[in-house]
Amino acid sequence: MKDLSGWALGPGETEDAFRFVTADANRLKVGEFVYYEPHDDDSKILSRVTKRERLQTEETDVVSTLEAHIDGEAMAVINSNRGYEVTANVLGYYDRDYDGFRNLRSPPEIGQDVYYAHDELLAEILTPTERQGILHVGSVLNRPDSDVRVFVDMDEIATKHLSVLASTGAGKSYTVGVLLEEMVKPGNRGTSVVFDIHGEYFTLAEDDEYGDRFNLIEEPRIKVSNLDIEDFEVAFSQEPTNVQRERLREVLNDLDIRDSAGRQNVDEQYKTDVRVDYSVDDIIERLSEGNNVDDNLAWRLGMLNDFICLTSDTETSIEELCEPGKCNVIEFPTGADELERNLIVWYFTKRILNSRKLAVRRQQGRDSYEPVGQSNQIQVPVTIFIEEAHNFAPIDRELRTRELLQEISREGRKFGVGLCVISQRPSRLDEDVLSQCNSSIIMKVRNGVDQETIARSVEAAGEDLLRDLPGLTVGQAILAGDFINTPVLTKIRLRETEHGGMTPDVAKESVQAYKKVQEEKKRRRQEAVSEVSEKASTGED
């Protein structure tokens, strides 16, 4: 079924754009889809509306351009002042054998018919061929009376990275929850690790249907004896001097060697690789009082005693951290400050990357060495989700976590480590990390600086769609990049699990709290009256 919407006027301002005239302005909003058919084959060349404005009949150049190419009925529409001039960008035709768009740079000829892209055509394009790793995230936004479903490719997230960007309350964590639900479904069974800074994903593990597919790590643990010099530097509030760094290295080596000195047949490799149980205080005890370098180190180390995640005898294992086929949610300890959060992200993310590197090299037969006493291989690809990513990869601060996320964004795909950065302030997020994300979910963004950053870093979305950012409502998003066949405005589907990051109902909670306090006061007054009455009846003073 064809639905004629307009007639082509000719090329637009850019190489891949064209203009056409229509009276169908209600349907053809910015972001909608139309198509035309070349004369030499039956391909449908899909295009996206990027601009529209009312056509003035006094624009004689437009009228004269079309007169020789269209019939009287079409000219009557144009002359009735009901016409609009629309600009559309050519996307190309969808080649199912190629499983993607074949780009075309040839706009329609003047006067050629332009058709409205019906649901069936869009569904054919936006619904991938049946295979594993396909995530259903929502439906096309501009089609409220239909359900053209929108899918994304899990492989593209896991290999080429994803950014989820939106203002507070626009639905970032809700949308990420949808992705995680899809990733753990039986046909996908993706392995992911979520650094949950605000405790928004615990409900996934408590769900009756989904709970066994999620692994909740409420307070991750790190053994002090497994920390190296870089780890300590991440945890320190100020970078140590070279002298302090070497002194700390000397003390740590001394602890390792002394604690293993009593063992029989201990070789040097064992002493290098195996750390035994010791605490921060054990390190401090090896330092000499009255020595400026040692006193400074002792002060720095003493601050680490406040880190809930640091212990002398237990550690969250790599098997627990990355259980295959599950979403593994790491909650930060309650009260953890910025430095402790940085250490948790740094330490476990670094272990994931190094473990995947070792596993890949083993698979390629290029590495046979494995440190003694440690399990250092993750046998499946892992996607790491970082909430509030601008805190760990800020554009204006030198942090080890930023360096690590830059490394993963550049090289992680080679080792099966994907990255999803989630941020409400993209302008504060390192641009190298953001620009390496080849796919994006962009929701409502109000801040002008953030909008400019997105426009620079997320080229796949297109200026026409990005202009809609301020007008999007909760649960609406622009999906663009390698994980989807074409950029599209999307209404995110409803969660199948309870959302753990709901915005509080201030009025409702305030009224409930007030009633509770008043009821408690009333109860106390009644108890006091009863006590007085009881004393009076017994003749007590």
pLDDT at 209 (0 to 100):
86
Q: Calculate mean pLDDT across residues 492-504.
A: 77
Domain contains 48: yes
Most confident of 59-63, 90-94, 129-133, 499-503: 90-94
Q: What is the DSSP secondary structure assignment for residue 56, as one 8-state letter?
A: P
Residue 25, number of CB atoms within 10 A of its CB: 16
312, 329, 358 - which closes a domain: 312
Whether residue 513 has pLDDT greater than 90? no
Cα–Cα distance measured from residue 122 to residue 492, given in angstroms and rounded to the nearest whole number: 17
Q: Calculate mean pLDDT across residues 146-159.
A: 89
For 392, residues 6+ apart whose C-beta sits below 8 A from its C-beta are 341, 342, 345, 386, 399, 401, 402, 405
Cα–Cα distance measured from residue 85 to residue 13, given in angstroms and rounded to the nearest whole number: 13
Domain check: are 325 and 448 in the same one? yes
Mean pLDDT of the chain: 84
Domain check: are 460 and 349 in the same one? yes
CA proximity to 136, closest of 384, 496, 459: 496
Give me the DSSP letters along 420-472. EEEES-GGGB-HHHHHT--EEEE-----HHHHHHHHHH-GGG-HHHHTTGGG-
C-beta separation of 454 from 424 below 8 A? no
Q: Calculate mean pLDDT across residues 367-379.
A: 58
Burial class (CB in 10 A: 0-12, 13-18, 19+), 530: exposed
pLDDT at 217 (0 to 100):
93
Q: Calculate mean pLDDT across residues 182-201.
A: 92
State how many domains the chain has. Answer: 4
Q: Calculate mean pLDDT across residues 51-71.
A: 70
**What tens digit of pLDDT does each residue of 339-372 get?**
999 999 999 999 999 999 988 888 887 665 555 4
312, 332, 347 - which closes a domain: 312
Domain contains 378: yes
Domain check: are 378 and 466 in the same one? yes
Domain check: are 61 and 111 in the same one? yes
% of the chain beyond a pLDDT of 70: 84
pLDDT at 40 (0 to 100):
67
Domain check: are 444 and 350 in the same one? yes
Domain contains 126: no
For 103, residues 6+ apart whose C-beta sits below 8 A from its C-beta are 91, 92
Diameter of the chain by CA atoms?
Answer: 113
Domain contains 132: no
* 44: amino acid identity, one letter: K
The domain in which residue 513 lies consists of 508-541
Who wins on pLDDT, 288 or 352?
352
pLDDT at 539 (0 to 100):
65
Whether residue 388 has pLDDT greater than 90? yes
> With the CA atoms of 482, 488, 489 and 492 taken in that order, what torsion angle do they form, in degrees rounded to the nearest 10?
-60
Burial class (CB in 10 A: 0-12, 13-18, 19+), 40: exposed
Who wins on pLDDT, 458 or 509?
458
Domain contains 122: no
Domain check: are 35 and 98 in the same one? yes
Domain contains 188: yes
Domain check: are 334 and 208 in the same one? yes
pLDDT at 447 (0 to 100):
86
Q: Calculate mean pLDDT across residues 150-172.
A: 91
Domain contains 130: no
Most confident of 75-84, 91-100, 275-284: 275-284
pLDDT at 507 (0 to 100):
66
Buried b (16+ CB within 10 A) or exposed e, 484-512: bbbbbbbbbbebebebbbeeeeeeeeeee
pLDDT at 377 (0 to 100):
72
Tokens found for residue 225: 């004896």
Q: How confident is the model at residue 37 (pLDDT cuts 50, 70, 90)?
A: confident
C-beta separation of 75 from 66 below 8 A? yes
pLDDT at 416 (0 to 100):
92
C-beta separation of 207 from 213 below 8 A? no
HSE-up (13 A, CA, CB side) for residue 339: 18
Domain check: are 379 and 443 in the same one? yes
Whether residue 419 has pLDDT greater than 90? yes
266, 285, 312 - which closes a domain: 312
Q: What is the DSSP secondary structure assignment for residue 165, as one 8-state letter?
A: E
CATH number of the domain that residue 185 is part of: 3.40.50.300
* 527: amino acid identity, one letter: E
pLDDT at 257 (0 to 100):
62
**What tens digit of pLDDT does each residue of 392-417 get?**
999 999 999 999 999 999 999 999 99
Domain check: are 330 and 449 in the same one? yes
> With the CA atoms of 402, 405, 410 and 411 taken in that order, what torsion angle do they form, in degrees rounded to the nearest 10?
130
pLDDT at 506 (0 to 100):
60
**What tens digit of pLDDT does each residue of 480-496 get?**
998 988 888 999 999 99
Q: Is 10 helix (H, G, I), strand (E, B) or coil?
A: strand
Domain contains 138: no
pLDDT at 246 (0 to 100):
94
Q: Calculate mean pLDDT across residues 257-264.
A: 49
Domain check: are 200 and 338 in the same one? yes
Q: Calculate mean pLDDT across residues 418-441.
A: 94
Whether residue 270 has pLDDT greater than 60? no
Who wins on pLDDT, 217 or 40?
217
Q: Calculate mean pLDDT across residues 370-386.
A: 74
Domain check: are 354 and 402 in the same one? yes
Q: What is the DSSP secondary structure assignment for residue 2, as one 8-state letter?
A: -
Cα–Cα distance measured from residue 79 to residue 141, given in angstroms and rounded to the nearest whole number: 32
pLDDT at 524 (0 to 100):
80
Distance of CA 437 to the CA centre of its chain: 10
Q: How confident is the model at residue 302 (pLDDT cuts 50, 70, 90)?
A: very high
Domain check: are 89 and 210 in the same one? no
Whether residue 264 has pLDDT greater than 50? no
pLDDT at 372 (0 to 100):
41
Q: How confident is the model at residue 374 (pLDDT cuts 50, 70, 90)?
A: very low
CATH number of the domain that residue 86 is part of: 2.40.30
pLDDT at 438 (0 to 100):
93
pLDDT at 381 (0 to 100):
93
Give me the DSSP letters along 192-243. EEEEETTS-SHHHHH-TTTGGGEEEESS--EEGGG--HHHHHHHSSSPPPHH
Whether residue 518 has pLDDT greater than 70? yes
